[in-house]
Structures are given as C-alpha cells and as structure tokens.
Structure 1
Amino acid sequence: MTQSLHLLHVDAFTPQGWVRDACISIAAGKITDIFPYKNGMPMPEGKCLERKGWIASPGWIELQINGAFGVDFAEEPQRMWEIAARLPEFGFTAFLPTIVTSPPAVFQQAIEVWKGGPPTGWQGAIPLGLHFEGPFLNPKKKGAHNPQLLQPPNPNLVADWDAANGVRLVTLAPELPGAYELAQTLRERGIVLSIGHSYATYEEALTAFEQGFRYVTHLYNAMTPLEYRAPGLVGAVLTHPEITVSLIADGIHVHPAMLKLAYQTRSPDHVVLVTDAMSALGMPPGRYPLGGKQEVFVDGHSARLADGTLAGSLLKPADALRNMMTFCDAPMEKILPCLTSTPAAVLGLSNKGTLQVGADADLTLLDPEGNLAMTLVGGEIVYEA
C-alpha cells in the first residue's frame, strides 16, 4: 500500500481562499485533509515534504494545446500519451489534446488512441478527452487552418464523436449552414460546444448562445471584431458575461488591454486561460509541423505560417498566469481559477481543479518566486524542477 504524502508549510489555494502555512495530506490519489500546520505540531505519519513558502495550486488544466516537444497531435496522434507524460514539466495535470482541421481519418485515429489508454506504468498529465477544433470552420476566419481541409457541417463525419469516445469539446462556426442541427446532435452526446473561427454577426452569435453554445475559443482571434455599428461576435461575447471564454495571454495574440477588458466583463469562473501551444513548445527555434500538413516557422517568440499568420503559440501556463496578473492588475487568487476550477467546470468535472477534501490530488506547486517547482497527478510526483 502506498504511504500517505504530506506537503508541509505550503500556502494552499482552496475554494474558501488561502490556507497559509498549511499541511495538505494525500492518500490513495485523493486529498484527505488541508489544515494550518503550526510549528510544534507533530509530524503526520507517512512521507512529509516541507516546502515553506511554496504556493499549492490545484492542478492546471489545459483545454487547447496542439502539441509540444516537436510533436503535433494532429500529425502524430499516436504519440499522444508520450507527450502527455511530459506536460507536467509545464505544470499541467490534465488537458485536452487538440486536433485542428485535418482529414476525417485523423480525428478517428485520435479517438482510437485516446480510447486505447496509456501504456503500462505510464505517468503524466491526464488526457481528459479530445478537443476537435475543426473542420467545421468559416473559411473567412480560417486562421492557420488548412483551407483545403475545411468542411461544411456534415453529420456523416461525426458518427463516432461523443463524450464516451473522448470527444469533449468541439469548436465550430455556428453561422455555417447546418451548424445548429449538427450542434444539437453533438450536445445530445455530451459534447461542449464552442464558437470559434467564425464570421458570425452579433445577431447570429446571440442565436448561437440560445442554441447551446456556452464557450468561445480564443476570444478575439479568428472572429468578427468589435465595431461601434456592428458589434460582431466579440461584442456579443463581451456583453454576455454568462458565456465562458478562453484567452491566449501571451501579449502577442491579443493586446493586453483587450485581455483586461474581457476579464473585467465577467467573473474568473467564466474565463479560461489556454496556451494554444503548438509542437514547438519546449523546443528551440526552427520549423515545426501543424496539423493539416502545414509548416510553422518559430523564432523563439511566436509561431507563424510562411505568410505571417499566427499558428498557435509558445506560451507556458506559468507565463500566462503572470501575464494576466500584470495585464489585469489582479492578485494570483483572482487568476488561478482560470487555469483550474473554470476549465474543470467547462467539462463538468467536480473532482479536479480544486483543493478540497475528496478531490483528486492533482497539484501544481510554485516556489516563493512563482516559478514552477513540482507537479503532482493523483498524489504522485510526476515532475520536480
């Protein structure tokens, strides 16, 4: 039987706020206790790690990542578990491998790889399912997606798309003919619907909200912008704070002032920080693959197609956290939910994204300077700086 683990003298971020100088007790992959640990108290039985001043956050959950360490999930879906094993190096404890617009066989292969499960003895960030970003996107807002592979909404292409097969999130353009019928089918199968890569007007966006779209993929990017006579999709989102949005907080995809504006229009439980990282994450500058048989040029700051179009990011979640704290002039506790409890809520998960008794013991720990120091998944240390 695995012995219990106790993290001592950490500052724990819980749903009730900070528990300073805390002990977090873990057993059988679950959090069993969180309490202030005062000097002179007896050592708990089991393995004890004293980490004075460290910040204990719920494990970080990523809803949009295209790849890392030279591997693109849409180009090599069979390597999903291999890359998942290394994502704790960035503080991720769970994530959705994201498959961008690709041939239908690629989406099917991703489903089979996810359903096949991890190899024996595997440890890493848990793939909670899949995010299919495409192929039902508007060609006018294709971004870095291969336009030759875009498709109109087609129920025949989604026969195996359901939550039981791991498809948890689908991004599509609701203004396309047949999109609402397809969306209803996906929603009935337990899939979260997201608006993205869309040329929707303000009015079409409101209709999409009524049709069950409650999430928006990388707000501002690849969608109709805010104009004073034509509010567009962005205007619809900014004036409807009940819609959850994802943001790429690298300061490149979106101006810091616009990130702050989006954050100010809604509570943190309706904001998700995503990296939208591509295969060059964790790699040196060079040329890297992107789904749809495309090549991306990486200079160490951004990832772009040959024509200069942004093609994912190189953003790390710790940097996204720091950036949003700076851009929004907000303390850490006001931004941490955007990496933890909010993405968990998007997927309907109550056992992740939170530090409380009975929750999964997934933790991301930062040192007193705010640098990633340790990642735990299911109570096991899977990364230590």
Structure 2
Amino acid sequence: MICIQHTTVYAPDEVIEDGAVLVADGRIQAIASAKQMEPPEAAHRIDGTGLHLVPGFIDLQLNGAMGHDFTEDPHTIWPVAAYLPSYGVTSFLPTIITAPLASSTAAMAVLQQPPAGFSGATPLGLHIEGPFLNPAKKGAHNPNYLQLPTETAVANWSPEAGVRLVTLAPELAGALDVVNVLKQQNVVVSAGHSTATFAQATDGFDAGIRYGTHLFNAMPSLHHRELGLLGALLADDRATIGLIVDGEHVHPALVKMVWELVGNDRLNLVTDAMAALGMPPGSYRLGDFDVTVDETTARLPDGTLAGSILAMDTAVRNLITYTGCTLAEALPTITSIPADLLNLPHKGRIAPGKDADLALLTPELQVHSTIIGGQIVYQKNLATENTEG
C-alpha cells in the first residue's frame, strides 16, 4: 500500500493542489486533498511536495531502445520495457515494422512469456506496422516484404494473441476486407504509409479504421482540392491522430496548428523511437536497415527519416513549448486518449478503481519516479517515509 501525499494530482476533471492518492492491490483506492486523507498506518508514504502526479504515459508506437530493435529480435521487448519507466512510460505497444509475417508471429509468442520477476512498462500488445503498406510511401520499410493485405494473414491476430494495433494503407486491394476482419477481432486499425485519396480514406473510416499513423509522415502533403489521407484524418472526428512531436518529423509551427484544430480531443503523441533511444549517436538497426543517428535524428543513407530518438517525457515538454498548452491539457494525448482508443478503461486516468500506473514529475516536467501496478519501478532521489507498523 502506497500513499502519495502533498502533490499536485491531475485527476480527469480537476487538478488537486496539495492532494493525496492512496494505492493498494495495484489499483487507485482514493483521491483527496492531503488534509482530508489520513493513510492507514501500514501505508508506505511518499512525499510529493512540489511534484506533479500524473497518469503513466502510454506509447502506441515504439520500435526499440537501448540499442535493441524489436523487429530484429522481439525478445528485446522485455529489457526495453524495464527501461521505459525512466521516461514515465508505464505501458506501450512494441512495434514490428515490415518484415516476413513470421516476425510478427514470433513477437506475439514473446509477449506470452514475460521473464520471471519482470518489472517495467507493460507491453499491451503489438503494433504491427506493415507489411500492408503502399510501396510509394514505404519510408524506412523494406519494399521486398511489402504485400497486399489478406484476411488469411490476419486470421489469428487479436489482443488475446498479442496484437492491438495494425497500420495499413486503405487504398490497397483487399484492405477494407481486412479492416473488417480486424475490427471484428477487436484490433484497432490505423491508416498510414499510404497514398489514399480523401474518398479512399473516408471509405476506410466507414469500414472501421480509427487511427492515423504519424500524421504528415509517409503520406502525401495536403492539397487544397485533393485533401488525401492527411486532410481526411484532420477532418474526420472518428479518427485519433498519431503525431511525432520531436521538432524534426513535423515543424513546431505545424504542431501548433494541429493542436489548435483538434486539441486534446483526439491527438495522440507517439515517439516512433528506434534502437538509438537512450544511446549515443552512431549506427543502429531498424528492421533490415542500418540507420545513422546524430544528436536529433535517425536517418537512412538517402536521408529518409527512420523512426526517432524521442523520449515520451520530452514529447510532452515539446508539445507544451510548441503550443503554449498546459500540462493538464497535454496529458490526455499520452494517457486517456490512447487508453480509450485501445478500449482499456482501467488505464490512463487517476481515479478510484483505475490501474495504479502513475508518474511523478518535477516542476520542470522531468520524470522523478514511476509507479506501475502500485509498485515503484523507477525513482530518482525520491524522498520517502516509511511508517511504523
């Protein structure tokens, strides 16, 4: 049992100054002002003075970190998951990019067998990005493995089997039939790496597509007479929009424009981070390719952006800097919005009964400590007080 006291609590509908949150059995038990809550004697008390208590961050697109690439070796999902709480991430979707379908099958099997004693961010299931992508917008995906979508290929994909999100190009032959199958199997479908027209994108939304993979990237630019997938994602309220806010994939001024258009109603920050996250500049892998990484970007030899080196806590700070929004306004983009998209009502909010996945942030919005399932899994100079009993 943990009681976090004297902290600023970011509850769904209010910000509680000098608040307190009681956690037990992996769930949030109570929220109140610190003056109103007297924790049980057995509670482990955490002094959150000067800190922000926020829901744990959820990343829907992560290719790897710490030198590990999930597509190349899905077993590295677990060591990366153990590392992610240092960025405030409490759950995520390991992303498998375009590869033989056997790679996705292998990654699904890995998720079924967490290591003994594992402690870290929770892999909620895979994000399979490819191979059902348009070759004209392949980005850093290997064109040798791209293929048309088929119902047979996705017949066994479900959250129970380890698949939560699938990115495909809706204009491809057979794509809408596959969207329908995945929808029936409770897998969220995203449009991305696509040349879809506005009409084709809308047909995709009608079929059940509910997400857009990294807005602006790997899709045609906006044209005032043919809005394409980009315009359809911005215009259609049914779609949640993924956005990489690293200042490289999308210009900060354009991030602000998107914010002013859709705000925190359906905007979802993702990192799309690759193996170089948390590592020095150098050469790293993304799928089959060697990627050159400097202080700010990851690129193929031809200059194509190949994922990012963005950490999720940095993404939040960037959004606030680029748009002028508040922390309270920014938080849904990495907490409740992705949780709702994946139909995980127990995650993404600080409220009684919700999972005790939490992060404490400093006034500068650096990660101070992270709690997952009611257990402290990361802490940096955390001031705590154990009560007797």
Give the equivalent residue in structure 1 for 2:299: 304
Query: CA shift at 1:42, angstroms?
Result: 5.2
CA distance in 2, matches of 1:350, 1:269: 16
Equivalent residues in 2 for 1:1-385, closer than 5 Å: 4-38=1-35, 44-45=40-41, 46-116=43-113, 118-291=114-287, 293-385=288-380
CA distance in 1, matches of 2:95, 2:39: 43
- How many pairs are equivalent? 379
After the TM superposition, which of the residue ranges 196-205 and 226-235 deviates more from structure 2?
226-235
Q: Secondary structure at the match of 2:340?
A: helix
* Counterpart amino acid of residue 358 in structure 1: G
* Counterpart amino acid of residue 18 in structure 1: V
Q: Secondary structure at the match of 1:131?
A: strand
Q: Secondary structure at the match of 2:265?
A: helix
CA distance in 2, matches of 1:263, 1:210: 25
Contact 1:287 / 1:297 at 8 angstroms: preserved in 2?
yes
CA distance in 1, matches of 2:73, 2:322: 36
* Counterpart amino acid of residue 8 in structure 2: D
CA distance in 2, matches of 1:368, 1:153: 47
Shift in alpha-carbon separation, 1:43–1:207, aligned structure 2, 3 A: closer
Q: Secondary structure at the match of 2:153?
A: helix
Q: Secondary structure at the match of 1:265?
A: helix
Contact 1:241 / 1:265 at 8 angstroms: preserved in 2?
no
* Counterpart amino acid of residue 6 in structure 2: H
Contact 1:351 / 1:359 at 8 angstroms: preserved in 2?
yes
Structure 1 segments of 4 or more deviating over 3 A? 41-44
Contact 2:3 / 2:39 at 8 angstroms: preserved in 1?
no
Query: CA shift at 1:120, angstroms?
Result: 1.4
Q: Secondary structure at the match of 1:158?
A: coil
Contact 1:277 / 1:315 at 8 angstroms: preserved in 2?
yes
Contact 1:239 / 1:265 at 8 angstroms: preserved in 2?
no
Alignment RMSD, CA only? Answer: 1.3
Scaled by the length of structure 1, what TM-score is found? 0.96
CA distance in 2, matches of 1:207, 1:193: 13
CA distance in 1, matches of 2:29, 2:38: 17
Query: CA shift at 1:209, angstroms?
Result: 1.1
Shift in alpha-carbon separation, 1:43–1:25, aligned structure 2, 3 A: closer
Q: Secondary structure at the match of 1:85?
A: helix
Structure 1 unpaired stretches of 5+: none
Shift in alpha-carbon separation, 1:62–1:166, aligned structure 2, 3 A: same
* Counterpart amino acid of residue 190 in structure 2: S
Shift in alpha-carbon separation, 1:120–1:239, aligned structure 2, 3 A: same
Q: Secondary structure at the match of 2:71?
A: coil
